[in-house]
Amino acid sequence: MSPARDGEWTRVPDPCPSPVQSILQELYEKYQPDFSGSVATYIPELAKANPADFAIVLATTDGHVYEVGQSQREFTIQSVSKPFVFSLALQEHGRDEVLRKVGVEPTGEAFNAIVFDETGNRPFNPMVNAGAIAISALISGDSFESRLQRISETFADFAGRPLEIDETVFQSERATGHRNRAIAYLELNSGMIQEPVDEHLDLYFRQCSILVTARDLAMMAATLANYGVNPLSGRRAVDPEHVQSILSVMASCGMYDYAGEWNYRIGLPAKSGVAGGIIAVLPGQFGIGLYSPLLDAKGNSVRGVRVCDELSSRFALHMFAHHPQPRTVIRRVYTGSNVVSKRRRRAAERDVLDQLGHRITVFELDGDLFFASMEQVLRRLTAELDPQGFAILDGRRVGHADQGPLGLLIAMHERLAERQQQLLLAAFPAAIIRALGQRLPAGWVEEHVFADLDRALEACEDALLATAAPELSAHEVSVPLAEMDIVAGFEGEYVALLAGYLEEATYAPGAAIIHENDPADRLFMLAEGSAAVIMQLGDGRSKRLANIGPGVSFGELALVDGGDRVADVIAESAVRCWVLRTERFAELAERHPRLHARLLKNIGRNLSDRLRRTTREVRTLEE
């Protein structure tokens, strides 16, 4: 950006601007010449606004901002403040208590109408002046200053920066706000609010006098679109369950007595203010902030309404225009017979898992989870899961999940548990896991949630082995040399002969057995414990390529082609190995060629088996 002559900041055009930026520029140029309407005059300071001022800003939920016009021009927020003070009241008192004090029904009247819900003895909704004054009265604090500080901090969280109050506008509102004062005292008379009334009114006048820009409004709207988290700062401004309440009231009451037609034509939760600001929210996607002080007869920005109308119709933004379809949420389904964990197991374990792998079913998901998509997943899970099986939901490609599907997921977990079946989650976004953890018994996440699919598969395999072959399942098992896969079929004399060429080595948990780039000069046979093959990816990141259990050999290529190691091998627990060095292997070839040949054959057989399994997995995952 670069400074213009009048002190405003103007955007230097990009060599190839985004289509979104170009569309906003097109709308700006289309509606800038429209001088319909008039600036607000009932607050004297607002009458000083420049009718030519006009800004359009769109902020996405990942923090990108598109802006045109006077997007940095400050003006007072006025009634656009109401959703954000409403959010603070919800945070402090909860939805039911706030609803007891202020309703949520549209009035069909002007924003400053002196009308009340006499049946409920409360203002009709928080978006008209009567309701907003009652909401301000709910903001707690030891003093006026502490109450105002709470409001200021809330606004800063939504905007992503501290906001100031225009004292001149505040004094102007305070001096001329007789109608609002009358509303407040009628509320006091009816028991809708309590003393001190003048303090409540000053709080309300000050919140309306907060200075913002169109960019601030867009970021505040984007925070609501992002379920209460500011897209730039990452700071939570309001809990997600309250965002639903805020957007609902904005949708039905946010545009004064134009709210019904706004919903009919545009269909975005929105709020306007008499200084010319408008916010509009497309949940989960973006927020819009607009500024143009020329108002229509209902108190809404003329240019702002027209821009939103055109954006909504051109790009089908109406919240009831469509709903996501669940056709592709299940990307792939396969069983543990075709895709196994990366744990290298001895042949006896593999034989059991080859027979029982069909009891593990993986449902690979892709996309956001909402009620219909989760219903589809659970319906298919119910139909395809083995009666004694494990269901793994692979969520690495899942984005957002609403509360509805989380409730269905919890219900499915409970139903499967009753039938002695298990539901595991792998690689789901942290936000979804946190939400589930708040609604399920303590310890559920630790037992049923895994960082990646490989660990979930390994847990299912371990559980199958524990049931079907407990003698094989214990990770603490000690495998004698004669039962190692690498000596399968060897007569006792050959095992004893080989033992003479081996060394024994032990490693503490966390110790490196093999370092990447070390010379490949030894074959290892793991007798006790567990080890992981780790590839370092740089920037402190690493990836587990395999897990090795007792009875399995590793580092075999040292005996075939030498070279350097391509990954680390780290002891996950206390490890005991037999080690065959390459020079001893060469001696074995010279002195006992038949033993040497049989050892090479077994090594080749093990590598071939590993290759066949990998090929089968690739075919399964590519079909």
Residues that are catalytic: 79, 82, 204, 256, 274
User: What DSSP character marks residue 485?
Assistant: G
The answer for residues whose C-beta is within 8 angstroms of residue 30's C-beta and 6 or more apart is none
Q: Which residue from 604, 503, 504, 612 is spatially nearest to 556, judged by alpha carbons? A: 604
**Spatial distance between the Cα atoms of 229 and 233, rounded to a whole number of angstroms:** 8
The identity of residue 267, as a single letter, is G
Q: Which residue from 427, 428, 422 is spatially nearest to 463, judged by alpha carbons? A: 422
User: What DSSP character marks residue 37?
Assistant: S
The identity of residue 306, as a single letter, is R
Q: Give the pairing type, strands 343-344 and 541-548.
A: parallel
For the residues of 332-355, what is the DSSP string, one character each?
EEEETTTS--SEE--HHHHHHHHH
15 Cα distance to chain centroid: 33
The answer for residues whose C-beta is within 8 angstroms of residue 277's C-beta and 6 or more apart is 75, 77, 78, 80, 212, 214, 217, 289, 290, 291, 301, 304
Rounding to the nearest 10 degrees, give the CA dihedral for residues 88, 91, 93, 97: 90
Q: Which residue from 82, 345, 55, 46 is spatially nearest to 166, judged by alpha carbons? A: 46
The answer for residues whose C-beta is within 8 angstroms of residue 451's C-beta and 6 or more apart is 426, 427
**Spatial distance between the Cα atoms of 428 and 435, rounded to a whole number of angstroms:** 11
The answer for residues whose C-beta is within 8 angstroms of residue 177's C-beta and 6 or more apart is 201, 205
31 Cα distance to chain centroid: 37
